[in-house]
């Protein structure tokens, strides 16, 4: 007989959910509020009452053994009767509770009452819900008496409602295991490096270690990482796989890879998690029953929709999810999150595993299972991680909030805000009109901000129609993000005070500590990219440890088909840019004229791009240019790339580190050359200098960590656009004298063997002539 382990809370919240989605603000009882409520109630228990009573019940239902576990808040004795007490904290007004008492709350208490009555042979038992108002400490109780038969009937009805999902899961897991154990690599042969990468991924899972893998373009990284993780899942080493990336193009490749593997027999379901704004079916993103028909009654229909969606597809992208949501009139965003619980491969942005504001708590907070993370384009996670774990507040936002609350009834909020503003003023006195930083956290702000948030919650619960409601809500979330980041503050942070702008920023200088903690959510994380150079830097910054594996693979392609030219007589340093414009333009023109075809030219900034563009058009007025404007939508990006056709002659100007310098796949004659103007150093800034000084003091690696390596990565990514398959042939032009100076040559990829230094356009032309027309 098969055994199903389940928690009481999981059972009742799943089968008894009903009603609407309503994300309009309601004061939320936090975990610490729940603890406080339980302590306040339980300290009043009598000498014969028991608190926190654990239950473990075994029930055979149909042909399955259900083992349910949970803990009742209280088992009370009164006048010879037994009362099962379930304590709940609430932010709602206590007199609103009769209309809002949750069926799931009753259900949880009734399950415990059933277990107790069954174990002790009781014919009936009392059940009590005790609500504790977190703001006022008011208490309200609701009581009912149930017969043992009624409680058993209730429990078996709940199991029956759950059973259809249990049977689906059992059938799916059996089919998944059998199919994945039998799954073969989906192509007739492995490319060079694929087998080594796949083996390293599998071994990392088997041993429970993280892997940092640099695998050059063209190896087939996606299939070489997904396939071995699926094989590990077939051996029951993993429960779920999270494919995490920073770009929608990489998500599409992951879905395509899953489709290929499924066509080869893999019975593993993949779901693509899409941002709410992109997947919403309503006219506007307003998640409440008044403004959205998909939110109204969502929970009444969601379980039927889940069953329908799970029966029909092995991969669920945004279009599939929208179709199911529309058919059942449920919210597509919430549908995809619920589907993810039943799916095997979850594809989404880094945020869903790492961001402290938006990671998927349903997987990573309560019952963490053996998960595998595949972190694509992992070089991006350094800066993304720094952004995720930093937070700012502006003094002006407090002024604005005060101005939005002129009514006397909100004076108590204004008073709280003024108390925070006075503390900010004291801090900004240190900065004067400039910037300063301190390594210590501004702990003196913590409690005043939390108190201000408590007061703002009163407004947000009561004043939905206020003219400035949305602005105050946004301000509240800023406070919340800042307060939460104070909880993450560690030795890798600094606090930046900007007296001129009135900004206080908690800035994550060293991402390794927070990302290492986040990686604990996975049994194994594989962080891979075509450019993890130097790998020790990325392993250090992304939270790798002593037991982490490192793999660096050579290119599978003939290096003689890739010609690199370094124009090292030109300085593109900021102070030299204006005078070097003519020669830069001439070098670019010489490069793209050597062979008719499509080329991309990359610049470190839009401003520099515009200056070179102006010069180029003056010098070569007959030449056409395709120029990145910035802020392109996905459709505009697609139209830009569609200009690069086979047998075309398009020269595109784009920004280094932007959407066209990585994550695009222009195979064959769609791109035959790339030019990189400058070494790509990040712009000088106060924050970058803080990174430099921090790592210089700790490890004597300041300039490299803050400027050199991040800039080099952008260059290598842009260069990687050229050779995508073994049939490709292409050239690369690097314009900057520093490319010929250490440490750059020693950091170039090993397959960059065909490097020629050129001093002028004539030498470049001759060298390219020899490469293209030998």
Q: What is the pLDDT of residues 600-643, one digit of tens each?
A: 999 999 999 999 999 999 999 999 999 999 988 889 999 999 99
Instruction: Give yes or no for residue 29 having a pLDDT over 60.
Output: no
Read off the tokens for 664.
């695009």
In this structure, the chain runs to a length of 774
Instruction: Give yes or no for residue 589 having a pLDDT over 80.
Output: yes
Residue whose pair of structure tokens reads 């520093």 in the numeric block: 738
* Residue-by-residue DSSP string for 384-440: HHHHHT-EEEEHHHHHHHHHH--SGGGHHHHHHHHHHHHHHHHHHTTTTTSEEEESS
Distance between CA atoms of residues 422 and 417, nearest Å: 9
Cα distances (angstroms) measured from residue 512 to each of 182, 246, 516:
38, 18, 6
Provide the terminal-to-terminal Cα distance of the chain, rounded to the nearest Å.
Answer: 74
Portion of the chain with pLDDT greater than 70, in percent:
99
Average pLDDT over residues 539-544: 98
CATH homologous superfamily of 183-268+344-389+511-555: P-loop containing nucleotide triphosphate hydrolases (3.40.50.300)
Average pLDDT over residues 470-499: 96
Q: Are 560 and 732 in contact (CB under 8 A)?
A: no
Cα distances (angstroms) measured from residue 583 to each of 601, 609, 740, 757:
15, 14, 18, 16
Question: Facing residues of 76 across strands?
Answer: 83
- Any idea which fold 2-164 has? Lambda Exonuclease; Chain A (3.90.320)
Q: Are 225 and 551 in contact (CB under 8 A)?
A: no
Distance between CA atoms of residues 175 and 169, nearest Å: 10
Q: Which of 156, 153, 132, 136 is nearest to 73 (CA)?
A: 132
Strands (E), 516-645: 524-529, 549-552, 562-567, 599-603, 626-627
CB atoms within 10 A of CB 737: 17
Q: Which of 568, 577, 523, 515 is nearest to 544 (CA)?
A: 515
Asked which of 26-40, 187-201, 629-643 is least confident by mean pLDDT, the reply is 26-40
Label residue 102 by pLDDT band (50, 70, 90).
confident
Q: What is the pLDDT of residues 159-192, one digit of tens each?
A: 999 999 999 999 999 999 999 999 999 999 999 9
Q: What is the pLDDT of residues 748-765, one digit of tens each?
A: 999 999 999 999 999 999
Instruction: Give yes or no for residue 27 having a pLDDT over 90.
Output: no
In this prediction the pTM is 0.94
At the second CATH level, the architecture of 559-772 is 3-Layer(aba) Sandwich (3.40)
Instruction: Give yes or no for residue 33 having a pLDDT over 80.
Output: no
Average pLDDT over residues 654-669: 92
Label residue 249 by pLDDT band (50, 70, 90).
confident
Q: Which residues of 573-606 are buried (b: 16+ CB within 10 A; e: fewer)?
A: eeeebeebbebbbbbbbbbbebbebbbbbbbbeb
Per-residue H/E/C for 247-275: CHHHHHHHHHHHHHHHHCCCCCCEEECCC
Of the CA atoms within 13 Å of residue 166, those in its CB half-sphere come to: 21
Q: What is the pLDDT of residues 265-292, one digit of tens each?
A: 999 999 999 999 999 999 999 999 999 9
Label residue 663 by pLDDT band (50, 70, 90).
confident
Label residue 368 by pLDDT band (50, 70, 90).
confident
Average pLDDT, rounded, for the chain: 95
Label residue 101 by pLDDT band (50, 70, 90).
confident
Average pLDDT over residues 336-345: 97
Question: Facing residues of 6 across strands?
Answer: 68
Distance between CA atoms of residues 485 and 391, nearest Å: 7
Instruction: Give yes or no for residue 100 having a pLDDT over 70.
Output: no
- For residue 328, the model assigns a pLDDT of 98
CB atoms within 10 A of CB 442: 19
Q: What is the pLDDT of residues 688-745, one digit of tens each?
A: 999 999 999 999 999 999 999 999 999 999 999 999 888 999 999 999 999 999 999 9
Portion of the chain with pLDDT greater than 90, in percent:
88
Q: Which of 184, 293, 322, 176 is nearest to 241 (CA)?
A: 176
Burial class (CB in 10 A: 0-12, 13-18, 19+), 155: buried
Residue whose pair of structure tokens reads 């109630």 in the numeric block: 41
Instruction: Give yes or no for residue 99 having a pLDDT over 70.
Output: no
Which sign does the torsion angle of CA 184, 185, 188, 193 carry? negative
Distance between CA atoms of residues 431 and 434, nearest Å: 5
Q: Which residues of 103-129 are buried (b: 16+ CB within 10 A; e: fewer)?
A: ebbbbbbbbbbbbbbbeeeeeebbbbb
Burial class (CB in 10 A: 0-12, 13-18, 19+), 430: exposed
Instruction: Give yes or no for residue 480 having a pLDDT over 80.
Output: yes
- For residue 367, the model assigns a pLDDT of 66
Q: Which of 620, 621, 628 is nearest to 584 (CA)?
A: 620
Q: What is the pLDDT of residues 400-454, one digit of tens each?
A: 999 999 999 999 999 999 999 999 999 999 888 889 999 999 999 999 999 999 9
Label residue 28 by pLDDT band (50, 70, 90).
low
Distance between CA atoms of residues 258 and 266, nearest Å: 8
Instruction: Give yes or no for residue 209 having a pLDDT over 70.
Output: yes
CA 511 to chain centroid: 15
Asked which of 146-155, 217-226, 700-709 is least confident by mean pLDDT, the reply is 217-226
């Amino acid at each position: 007989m098969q055994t199903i382990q389940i928690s009481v809370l999981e059972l009742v919240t799943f089968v008894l959910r009903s009603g609407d989605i309503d994300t309009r603000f309601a004061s939320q009882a936090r975990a610490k509020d729940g603890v406080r409520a339980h302590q306040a109630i339980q300290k009043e228990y009598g000498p014969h009452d028991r608190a926190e009573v654990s239950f473990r019940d075994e029930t055979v239902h149909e042909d399955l053994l259900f083992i349910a576990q949970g803990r009742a808040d209280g088992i009370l004795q009164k006048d010879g009767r037994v009362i099962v007490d379930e304590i709940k904290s609430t932010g709602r007004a206590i007199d609103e509770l009769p209309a809002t008492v949750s069926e799931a709350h009753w259900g949880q208490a009734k399950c415990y009452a059933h277990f107790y009555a069954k174990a002790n042979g009781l014919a009936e038992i009392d059940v009590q819900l005790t609500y504790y108002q977190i703001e006022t400490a008011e208490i309200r109780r609701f009581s009912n008496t149930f017969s043992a038969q009624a409680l058993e009937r209730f429990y078996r009805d709940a199991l029956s409602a759950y059973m259809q999902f249990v049977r689906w899961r059992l059938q799916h897991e059996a089919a998944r295991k059998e199919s994945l154990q039998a799954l073969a690599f989906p192509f007739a042969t492995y490319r060079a490096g694929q087998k080594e990468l796949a083996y390293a991924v599998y071994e990392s899972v088997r041993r429970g270690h993280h892997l940092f893998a640099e695998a050059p373009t063209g190896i087939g990284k996606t299939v070489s990482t997904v396939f071995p993780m699926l094989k590990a899942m077939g051996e029951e080493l993993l429960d779920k796989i999270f494919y995490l990336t920073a770009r929608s193009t990489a998500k599409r490749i992951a879905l395509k890879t899953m489709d290929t593997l499924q066509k080869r027999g893999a019975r593993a379901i993949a779901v693509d998690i899409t941002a709410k704004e992109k997947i919403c079916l309503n006219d506007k993103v307003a998640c409440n029953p008044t403004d959205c028909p998909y939110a109204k009654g969502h929970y009444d229909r969601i379980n039927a929709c889940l069953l329908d969606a799970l029966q029909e597809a092995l991969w669920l992208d945004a279009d599939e999810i929208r179709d199911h949501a529309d058919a059942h009139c449920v919210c597509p965003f919430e549908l995809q999150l619920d589907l993810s619980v039943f799916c095997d491969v979850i594809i989404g942005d880094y945020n869903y595993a790492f961001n402290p504001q938006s990671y998927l708590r349903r997987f990573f907070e309560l019952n963490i299972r053996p998960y595998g993370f595949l972190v694509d384009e992992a070089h991006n996670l350094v800066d993304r991680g720094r952004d995720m774990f930093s937070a700012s507040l502006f003094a002006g936002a407090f002024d604005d909030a005060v101005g939005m609350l002129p009514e006397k009834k909100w004076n108590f909020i204004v008073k709280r805000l003024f108390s925070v503003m006075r503390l900010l003023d004291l801090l900004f006195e240190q900065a004067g009109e400039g910037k300063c930083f301190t390594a210590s956290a501004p702990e003196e702000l913590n409690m005043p901000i939390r108190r201000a948030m408590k007061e703002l919650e009163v407004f947000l619960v009561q004043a939905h129609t206020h003219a400035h409601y949305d602005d105050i809500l946004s301000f509240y979330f800023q406070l919340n993000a800042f307060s939460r980041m104070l909880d993450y503050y560690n030795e890798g942070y600094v606090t930046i005070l900007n007296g001129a702008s009135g900004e206080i920023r908690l800035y994550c200088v060293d991402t390794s500590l927070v990302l290492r903690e986040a990686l604990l959510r996975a049994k194994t994380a594989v962080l891979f990219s075509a450019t993890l150079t130097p790998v020790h830097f990325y392993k250090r910054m992304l939270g790798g440890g002593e037991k982490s594996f490192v793999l660096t693979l050579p290119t599978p392609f003939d290096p003689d088909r890739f010609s690199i030219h370094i124009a090292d007589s030109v300085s593109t340093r900021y102070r030299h840019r204006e005078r070097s414009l003519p020669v830069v333009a001439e070098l670019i023109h010489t490069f793209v004229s050597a062979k008719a075809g499509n080329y991309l030219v990359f610049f470190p900034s839009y401003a520099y791009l515009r200056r070179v563009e102006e010069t180029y058009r003056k010098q070569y007025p007959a030449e056409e240019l395709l120029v990145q404007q910035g802020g392109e939508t996905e459709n505009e990006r697609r139209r830009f790339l569609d200009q690069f056709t086979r047998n075309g002659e398009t020269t595109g100007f784009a920004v280094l580190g932007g959407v066209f310098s990585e994550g695009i796949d222009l195979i064959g004659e769609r791109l035959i050359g790339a030019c990189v103007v400058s070494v790509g150093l990040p712009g000088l800034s106060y924050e970058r200098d803080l990174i430099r000084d921090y790592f210089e003091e700790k490890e004597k690696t300041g300039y490299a960590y803050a400027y050199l390596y991040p800039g080099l990565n952008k260059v290598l990514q842009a260069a990687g656009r050229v050779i995508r398959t073994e049939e490709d042939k292409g050239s690369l032009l690097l314009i900057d004298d520093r490319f010929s100076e250490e440490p750059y040559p020693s950091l170039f990829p090993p397959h960059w063997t065909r490097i020629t230094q050129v001093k002028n356009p004539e030498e470049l032309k001759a060298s390219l002539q020899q490469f293209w027309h030998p």
